[in-house]
Amino acid sequence: MKKSSAITAVHGRQVWDSRGRPTVEAEVRLASGHVGRGMAPAGASKGRHEALELRDGGSAFGGLGVTQAVANVDGAIAAALRGADGLDRDAVDRLLIAADGTPNKVRLGANACIAVSMAVAHAAAAHEGVALHALLAGERVCVIPLPEIQIFGGGAHAGRRIDIQDLMVVCPGAASFAEALAWTAEIYGAAGEIMGERGQLAGVADEGGFWPAFESNEAALATLTQAIEKAGYRPVEQVGIALDIAASEFGRDGRYKLALEGRTLDRQDLVTLLMDWVGRFPILSLEDPLGEDDGEGFALLMAQCGTSLQIVGDDLLVSDSARVREAAVLGLANTVLLKPNQRGTLLEVRQAWETAQAAGMSGIVSARSGETEDVTIAHLAVGWGVPQLKVGSFSRSERMAKWNEVLRIAEALGPDVAFAGAGALKQG
C-alpha cells in the first residue's frame, strides 16, 4: 500500500532575511508528527515575469512587510492543505497553485507559497527518514553541482557602482566540489588583497562579493582575471569567469545605458561589446546578457557563440516552463537559471528544469540576493541533477550555509559520487 501522512498544520511566521528585511517562514506538520520548515528568499533585480512577491506596502519597512503573506499561510493556504497527503508533494503543490488560482501567485504571494512548498518537502523527507536531496532524487543518480561563486558584486546589489551585476568564478579544472571551493577561497582572498593594496577595499555588496570600487566594467574584469592568476590558477583551463550582466536593469527595447561609461548602446553594440570581453577575458558563461524582453538580442548572441559559451536566462526565463520552451524553440539561451521563488512552488520550477533538459538545455539552481539560512536549494541542485549551483559569494553565512551543506551532502553520498565539473559548461 502507498504510504501517506496527512498535513495536520500549516503555520506562517515573519522572520528576517540577510538584508534585514521581513520574509516568510512556513512550518508544516504531518500526522506522523514530522515537521518541515521553509523560508522565502527575495530578489533585488527581479524579472518582470516573475511570480509576485506579496508585500504589505505602506510606510513600515519601506513597504516590504509580509503581514498579509504570513496571514495567507495561516489562512487560505492552511485551509487548502489541511488533510492532504504531505508525502505526495506534487499534489500538494497543485493544491497551492489552485488555492492561488492566478498564473503569477498574485492572490496568495509567491513568497508565501514557496515557503510552504519547501516546508512540505522537508516534512516529507523527515517522515521518510532521508535527506531532502535523496527524497528528490528517488531512483535518479545524484550529481554534485559545479559551484558558480561571486567575487565582486555590482549592479543593483552595489548601488549600481558598476553595470555588471555579478562577477563570478567557475572552476572547470577542479576535481571535486570541495576542491572548487578551496580554489575559490584562494581567489576570493587574492581579490581582497589586490583591492587592499590599491586602497579600493570598501566592504562587500549584497551577496558578499567585494564592493566594486572600479572605474570601468573592464577594470573589474581585469582585476578578477588578475586575482585568478595571483591565486595560482590557469585562466579558462582551471578557472573561468561567469558574468551575470543583468541587462534588464539598464536596458529596455533593445537600448542599453551603461551608466559607468556614460554611453547608450543598441543591442548589436552590446553584443559586440560582450563578444569583445569574451575574446579578451577568460569568460565561460554570460547570464542575462541582454534585457528580459530583448529576444532579438539573445538570438543574435546565441547565433554567434551559443555552441561555445554558456548563455543563461534568468530574468528572461524566470524559471517558467513555457518561457523555457519558447526560448529553446527560438534559440535564445542554452541554460536556465532556476530560482524557486520566481514561480512559488517546487513543482513548477522542477517542470521548468525538465522542459530545459528535454530541449537539450542545461540548468543552474540559484539563490537570491536576499537570502536566509535556509539551505533547501543545495538539496534541489543535487536531488534534481542540476549541474550548477549559484549562491552568491564566498562570505556571509547565508551564502556559506549553502556551500557547506553541499559539502555535507557530497560526503554523505560517498567518494564515488559524480561531480558535474567541467562537463557542466559544455554546450550541445
Residues that are catalytic? 207, 339
Residue 339's nearest CA partner among 18, 14, 41 is 41
What proportions of the chain, in percent to the nearest 5, are helix, strand and coil? 40, 20, 40
Would you say 72 or 334 has its CB closer to Zn ion? 334
User: Least distance in Å: CB of 252 to Zn ion?
Assistant: 16
User: Which residue number places its CB atom closest to ligand PGA?
Assistant: 43
DSSP state, residue 76: I
Distance CA 52, CA 111 (A): 8
- The least distance separating Zn ion from the CB of residue 364, rounded to whole angstroms, comes to 10
* Cβ 101 vs Cβ 142: under 8 Å: no
Residues 303-342 that bind Zn ion (CB under 5 A): 314
- 368 makes contact, choosing from Zn ion, ligand PGA, none, with CB < 5 to 8 Å by partner type, with ligand PGA
Closest-CB residue for Zn ion?
A: 314
Select 315 or 348, whichever has its Cβ closest to ligand PGA.
315
Output 25 or 314, the one with its CB closest to Zn ion: 314
Nearer CB in complex with ligand PGA: 77/337? 337
Interacting positions 254-293 with Zn ion (CB under 5 A): 287
Q: Which is nearer to ligand PGA, 53 or 218 (CB)?
A: 53
List contacts with ligand PGA (CB under 6 A): 43-46, 244, 246, 314, 366, 368-369
Q: Which does 43 bind (CB under 5 to 8 A by kind): Zn ion, ligand PGA, none?
A: ligand PGA
Using CB distances below 5 to 8 A depending on partner kind, what does residue 93 bind out of Zn ion, ligand PGA, none?
none
H helices within 212-306, ranges in order? 217-230, 267-280, 295-305
Q: Per the structure block, which three cell numbers stand in for 348?
A: 513548477
SS3 267: helix
Structure-block grid coordinates of residue 144: 554534485
Q: At what angle do helices 397-413 and 177-197 cross, to 10 degrees?
A: 150
Residue 46, binding choice from ligand PGA, Zn ion, none, Cβ under 5 to 8 Å by partner class: ligand PGA
CB of 66 to ligand PGA, least distance (A): 17
Nearest residue to 369 (alpha-carbon basis) of 132, 53, 65: 53
Least Å distance, CB 249 to Zn ion, is 9
CB of 246 to ligand PGA, least distance (A): 5
Shortest Å, Cβ 207 to ligand PGA: 7
d(CA 334, CA 286): 10
**Footprint on residues 228-247 left by Zn ion (CB under 5 A):** 244
Q: Which is nearer to ligand PGA, 184 or 248 (CB)?
A: 248
Residue 29 interface partner, choices ligand PGA, Zn ion, none, CB cut-off 5-8 Å depending on type: none
Contact 112, 69 (CB under 8 A): yes
- Residue 117 binds: one of ligand PGA, Zn ion, none (C-beta under 5 to 8 A by kind): none
Q: Where does residue 290 fall: left (phi above 0), alpha (psi -120 to 50 degrees), or beta otherwise?
A: beta
**Distance, CA of 19 to CA of 203 (rounded, Å):** 15
CA angle in degrees (0–180, nearest 5) for 68-72-77: 170
For β-strands 335-338 and 388-393, DSSP reports them as unpaired
Contacts with Zn ion by CB under 5 A lie at 244, 287, 314
